Structures are given as C-alpha cells and as structure tokens.
Amino acid sequence: MAEPKKKLSKTRTRSRRHQIKHIEVGIIYCPECHAAMQRHHICQNCGTYKGKKVVDTDEKIEVEPTEKA
C-alpha cells in the first residue's frame, strides 16, 4: 500500500474537512397522512406516492403457527 510521506497537520486535515458540507437527510412529510417519510419513497404509513395509492396497507399478513415435531 502507498503511504503518505508525512503526517498531515491538524490544520491541513481540519481545513480540508471544513469544506465537507452537511448532507441533507431527505426527510419530508407525507402530503396525505403527514407522517415523516423518506424523499422519493413510498409512504410507509399510508402507502401512497405522489398522491397515488401504490401499496395496499390495509392488507393484513397472516402468519401460520409453526409446529414443532
């Protein structure tokens, strides 16, 4: 592996990192149910995207109990 010839000073490291901007998290609120949701994703609460129903959230998944032999 290539190694740096000299240790970077605190000032050099910090001045470089100073340029790194905080990345926007991308959390928005659903226009339908006002729940917090990730940008460009289907709402986990009501299953809509851009005002259209995409996923049926009323559907309940039944899990069959497993029997041990």
Secondary structure string (H, E, C) spanning 9-69: CHHHHHHHHHCCCCCCCCEEECCCCCCEEECCCCCCCCCEECCEECCCCCCCCCCCCCCCC
Work out whether 46 is an interface residue with Zn ion (CB under 5 A): yes
With CB under 5 A as the contact rule, which of the stretches 13-21, 37-45, 49-57, 58-66 interacts with Zn ion? 37-45
Among 11, 14, 20, 32, binds Zn ion (CB under 5 A): 32
Closer CB to Zn ion, 8 or 35, in the complex? 35
Interacting residue ranges for Zn ion, rule: CB under 5 A? 30, 32-33, 43, 45-46
